[in-house]
Each structure stands twice: as C-alpha cells, then as structure tokens.
C-alpha cells in the first residue's frame, strides 16, 4: 500500500503554501524552514476492504517478508518472520494480521517491542517510533490452525497425509506468518522451510538452495517480484519433485519446479502441457510476468485449485482447463492484483475468459458460441446473474458463478462490442501497464475507454454493476462480430 502524500509530506506542502501566503513574508526566505519532525502516530488497524473489513493495517508499506519456518513431524512449527517495511510517518504502533499461534518475541529495529493479540490482530508498540525504513521481527511457534472462509471452504494451513499445505486466499496467510494481509500491500519474499529430510518443501519463486544437516533439509525459496500475501504458498510433505527448464518467448528460459504427491502418478501430461500453455498465454497476454514456474499437485481435499504465485496448487491432477485458468491468473490476479476483494472479478472473470479463449483455439467452440450457449441456458432469473460481478456485498460470494462466469461473459460481451483487435490490445495493455501493480475496476474501465475511444460507461454499468441478466443478447446469434475494429455492432 502506498500513501506517501497522506501523512507528513502532505502536511509540509500545506505549511509551505501557508507561509507563502502570509502577508509580509519575505518572498525568497524559504531555506530557513527546519526539517519538521512529525509526531508519531498509531497506524490504523484496517484497510477498510469492502468485503473483509478486518484485514490489513495502515501507516506502513511492507517491502519484504523473510520467513524461516521449521516444521516438526506431528504438525507444529517454530518460525521467525522478518518484515522490512517503510512508514510514511513515524509509527508509535503498528498492526499485523496473525491468527492462532503463540508469539514469543517481537523486535522493531532490533529492540524488544511490546505486543498484544486481539482476535486476528497483532498490535506492536515499538520501543522507539518506527520511522522511514524499519524492520519488525516476530518469533512464534505452535500448531497452525485452518481458517474457514465465509463460503465454508478451508483456507490457510491445511494438514495433509504427510505434512501440511498452506493456501492463502483470501486470508489464510495469517495462519502461518504475521503480515499485512491485504492484496494492496505487495512485497517480495524469502521463504526458508526446514523439515525432516524425507519430506519436500515448496513455496513461491526460485529455489535458491537446498541443504541437509542432521536429518533436516532446508529449502530456500525466493519470490523476486512483488506478491500479495494471498498468493503465498507453502507445501511440506512427501512429493516427487520434477525440475526442468521452460523456454518462453524471446529466448528466455525459466526454471520449473513441480511437486507431485506420489500416489497421483507422475502427472506427465500436465507437466508437458505447462510450457505449452505458458507460451500460448504469452502470445495472448504478453510476457510472462515471473521468473519461475511449476505446480503443486496433491490430494489435499480442499476442493479448489489456486493460482499461488509462480507455482499454482491443484487438488488432484488438473484437467487442461484448470491448468489454463491458474496460469492465466499469473497475468491477471498475481501480476495485476485488485486492491480490494470486491474487485475479484478482475481475477476470476479474466481467468475464466482465458479458459474460453484457449478452448476456442484448441478445437472447442468459439468464445461467442460459448457466450450464446451460457446466455440462453441461463434465463434472466438464473443465479448466474446475481449479484453483479463488481457489486458484491457478501464475502461468501467471492468464488461464486457470477464472479467467474458472468465475469468472463462480461469480457466476451466487451469483445463482441469493440472487436477482436481492440480486445486483444486491451488485454495486453492491461497486463503490461499494470504489471506487478494493484488495480481497481475503474482502472480497467478507463483503459477500455482509452483503448477504444468510446464511452463504455453504460456497458460496464450494466454488465458489472447491475443485478440480473443484461438484456439485448437474446437474438445476438444472428450477428457475427466483425473481425476487425472497422465496424461495430451494438447489442446492449
């Protein structure tokens, strides 16, 4: 999260303006203003997310997480998380998210800090105000808990047959490390996992080293591009580990690390498909935004796959569409990340649309045929159309069909309206211009309007914000969209 101008910088600006306006103030006397030392403030305990009002803290911006976690057979952990952050103004108090576990010690810039636990909040009071760049170190231990989402799904730390896997969407990251648990505060990560040597340990990004000592192996992973906490992954257990190199566009090669639960076979078809889908996606959406890839494939029993950054997780060997979906998220969701959970359709609508695109290019129906089929099969009163994808009020709707299917149909309706060429330009520009950033739906609408030169306000108002099936597509089958942007068909 970035708000450098909200704190003291904004204050200084207004002071300077005030001085300049003072009657009789010497016009050129500026240099005498001393560097102001702003009074410390307590950081806020919420980022006011529209669906998860309890998550996140304000007043600081995390730059890097260093997580060193030791897993013991039996399911307990002992860990240290080191957070490098920056404060917009000095902080007398700052709040992290942490659920369960016992905190042993907190330091800020090396000095012992006081802390209190309140529900899922860890409130830290530094001995001296934390200012500028500062470091918080939290030592903790215990048996991590599984978080249950508003929709009843499991999230966070999930014990498995041979170890444990942590899946962090939407809020599960707080069950295994203290953090600023909002998608708007991305940071780089170093994760070192130590476990009995017969187990493997996966996380995001590149494997930097793997060393065994006294029967324990430490796996050091580094995620060099910014990552939202909800995309962080940890998987400890018996896995077959497959290492390979993937050739991408422009002669670039990246390492692939794939972890497969032995009982599931070797997942050879999926491991072979992965590079093909990455290259297909680069052609569609532009450069792959990360420097490593791979998969984690296991029977965990959570009932969903997840786009964990660089290395998606699959609950069982995935079908092609699921692999395509999770890889599309690397562009849409992982690199270009919504700042608020209410904009989740920017993830799921895009990844669902990517599935349709891939199918259309691989012998399936065209995206327009798929659109018509879904439109006809779901009458105006169908659950598919409500709530509108960008107007969620209930966090239990986060992973519902309005977000996924209607979200994807919104993009196909947009393509139908603006034409193939502009749609392609728009999807690529969105991924490139917002790479590694945090975004809102309004940013996408603005880019769509800039790309097309059209006012698309009414279109998006209907498709994204208005409950119920958008009207006007009942007989849309008689019109084929023009292949170029030359002519425009309107179907609102």
Contacts of 176 (CB under 8 A, 6+ apart): 69, 77, 79, 144, 156, 157, 166, 168, 234
Q: Which is nearer to ligand TRP, 149 or 449 (CB)?
A: 149
Site membership for Zn ion, residue 153 (CB under 5 A): no
What mask of x and - would describe binding to ligand TRP in positions 389 to 418, judged by CB under 6 A? ----------x-------------------
Q: Does 305 bind ligand TRP (CB under 6 A)?
A: yes
Q: How far is the CB of 92 from Zn ion (least distance, A)?
A: 40
- Near ligand TRP by CB under 6 A, which window of 132-140, 181-189, 301-309, 456-464? 301-309
| Angle, CA 473 vertex, CA 470 and CA 475 arms, to 5° | 155
- Of 343, 348, 405, 412, the residue at the interface with ligand TRP (CB under 6 A) is 348
Beta strands 253-260; 293-298: pairing state: parallel
Q: Is the separation of the CB atoms in 185 and 252 below 8 Å?
A: no
Q: What is the dihedral of CA 456, 428, 332, 266, to 10 degrees?
A: 140
Position with the least CB separation from Zn ion = 351
Look-up: residue for tokens 């999930």?
Answer: 158
The CA dihedral of 36, 40, 46, 50, to the nearest 10 degrees, is: -20
| Cβ neighbourhood burial of 82 (10 Å; 0-12, 13-18, 19+) | middle
User: Min. distance of Cβ 91 from Zn ion in angstroms?
Assistant: 35
Based on CB atoms, which residue is closest to Zn ion, 324 or 351?
Answer: 351
Do residues 273 and 256 touch, judged by C-beta distance below 8 A?
Answer: no
The count of C-alpha atoms lying within 13 angstroms of the C-alpha of 261, restricted to the half-sphere facing its C-beta, is 22
Burial of 473 (0-12, 13-18, 19+ CB in 10 A): middle
Beta carbons within 10 angstroms of residue 328's beta carbon: 26
418 binds, among ligand TRP, Zn ion, none (CB under 5 to 8 A by kind): none
- For residue 307, state whether it binds ligand TRP (rule: CB under 6 A): yes
**Residue 305 interacts with which of Zn ion, ligand TRP, none, CB < 5 to 8 Å by class:** ligand TRP
Query: How far apart are alpha carbons 471 and 49 in whole angstroms?
Result: 31
Q: Total residues at the site for ligand TRP (CB under 6 A)? A: 12
Q: Is 153 in the site for ligand TRP (CB under 6 A)?
A: yes
Helix 345-361 vs helix 268-285: crossing angle, to nearest 10: 100
301 conformational bin, left if phi > 0, alpha if psi -120 to 50, beta if neither: left
Q: Given the complex with ligand TRP, which of 242 and 399 has the nearer CB atom?
A: 399
> Binding residue for ligand TRP (CB under 6 A) from 86, 135, 244, 304?
304
User: Helix 367-377 crosses helix 345-361 at what angle (to 10 degrees)?
Assistant: 120
| Span near ligand TRP by CB under 6 A; candidates 20-28, 109-117, 147-155, 211-219 | 147-155
Nearer to ligand TRP, 184 or 422 (CB): 184
Least Cβ distance, residue 403 to ligand TRP (angstroms) = 9
Among 109, 137, 151, 454, binds ligand TRP (CB under 6 A): 151
Only segment of 20-28, 179-187, 212-220, 302-310 that touches ligand TRP (CB under 6 A): 302-310
Restricting to residues 176-215, which ones interact with ligand TRP according to CB under 6 A? none
Task: Read off the DSSP letter of residue 271.
Answer: H
Cβ(111)–Cβ(72) below 8 Å? no
Q: Would you say 352 or 451 has its CB closer to Zn ion?
A: 352
Q: Which does 151 bind (CB under 5 to 8 A by kind): Zn ion, ligand TRP, none?
A: ligand TRP
- Does 305 contact Zn ion by CB under 5 A? no
Q: Can you tell me whether residue 395 is helix, strand or coil? A: helix
* Residue ranges in 331-370 that form contacts with Zn ion under rule CB under 5 A: 348, 351
Give the residue, chosen from 61, 97, 99, 169, that forms a contact with ligand TRP under the rule CB under 6 A.
169
Q: Is residue 260 involved in binding ligand TRP (CB under 6 A)?
A: no
| CA dist., res. 429 & res. 443, Å (int) | 12
**388 sits near Zn ion (criterion: CB under 5 A):** no
Q: In three state form, how does the secondary structure of 82-127 look? A: EEEEEEEEEEEEEEEECCCCEEEEEEECCEECEEEEECCEEEEECC
Distance, CA of 385 to CA of 406 (rounded, Å): 6
Q: Which residues bind Zn ion (CB under 5 A)?
A: 348, 351
Q: Which residues bind ligand TRP (CB under 6 A)?
A: 149, 151, 153, 169, 304-307, 325-326, 348, 399
């Amino acid at each position: 999260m970035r708000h450098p101008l909200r704190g003291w910088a904004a204050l200084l600006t207004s002071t300077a303006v005030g001085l300049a306006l003072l009657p009789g103030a010497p016009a050129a006397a500026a240099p005498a203003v001393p560097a102001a030392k702003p009074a410390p403030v307590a950081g806020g305990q919420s980022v006011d997310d529209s669906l998860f009002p309890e998550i996140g803290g304000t007043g600081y911006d995390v730059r890097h997480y260093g997580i060193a976690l030791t897993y013991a057979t039996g399911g307990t952990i002992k860990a240290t998380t080191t957070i490098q952050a920056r404060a917009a103004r000095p902080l007398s108090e700052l709040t992290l998210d942490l659920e369960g576990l016992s905190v042993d010690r907190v330091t800020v810039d090396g000095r012992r800090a006081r802390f209190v636990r309140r529900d899922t909040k860890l409130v830290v009071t530094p001995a001296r105000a934390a200012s500028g760049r500062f470091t918080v170190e939290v030592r903790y231990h215990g048996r991590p808990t599984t978080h249950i989402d508003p929709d009843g799904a499991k999230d966070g730390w999930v014990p498995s047959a041979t170890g444990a896997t942590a899946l962090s969407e939407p809020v599960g990251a707080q069950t295994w490390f203290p953090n600023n648990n909002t998608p708007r505060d991305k940071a780089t990560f170093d994760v070192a996992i130590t476990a009995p040597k017969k187990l493997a340990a996966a996380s995001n990004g590149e494997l930097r080293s793997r060393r065994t000592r006294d029967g324990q192996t430490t796996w050091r992973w580094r995620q060099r591009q910014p990552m939202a906490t909800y995309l962080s992954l940890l998987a400890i257990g018996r896995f077959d580990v497959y290492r390979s190199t993937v050739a991408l566009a422009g002669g670039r090669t990246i390492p692939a690390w794939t972890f497969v639960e032995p009982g599931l076979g070797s997942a050879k078809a999926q491991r072979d498909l992965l590079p093909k889908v990455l290259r297909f996606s680069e052609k569609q959406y532009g450069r792959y935004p990360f420097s490593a890839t791979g998969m984690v494939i296991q029977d965990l029993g959570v009932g969903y796959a997840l786009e964990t950054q660089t290395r998606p997780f699959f609950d069982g060997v995935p079908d092609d569409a699921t692999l395509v979906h999770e890889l599309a998220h690397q562009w849409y969701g992982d690199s270009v990340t919504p700042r608020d959970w209410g904009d989740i359709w920017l993830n799921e609508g895009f990844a669902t649309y990517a599935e349709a695109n891939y199918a259309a290019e691989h012998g399936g129906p065209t995206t327009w045929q798929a659109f018509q089929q879904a439109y006809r099969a779901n009458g105006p009163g169908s659950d598919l159309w409500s709530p509108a994808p960008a107007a969620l009020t209930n966090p239990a709707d986060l992973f519902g069909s309005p977000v996924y299917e209607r979200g994807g149909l919104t993009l196909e309706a947009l393509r139908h309206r603006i034409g193939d060429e502009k749609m392609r330009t728009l999807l690529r520009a969105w991924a490139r211009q917002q790479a590694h950033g945090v975004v809102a739906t309004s940013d996408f609408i603005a880019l769509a309007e800039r790309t097309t030169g059209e006012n698309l306000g009414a279109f998006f108002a209907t498709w994204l914000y208005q409950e119920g099936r958008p009207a006007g597509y009942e007989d849309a089958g008689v019109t084929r969209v023009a292949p170029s942007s030359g002519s425009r068909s309107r179907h609102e």
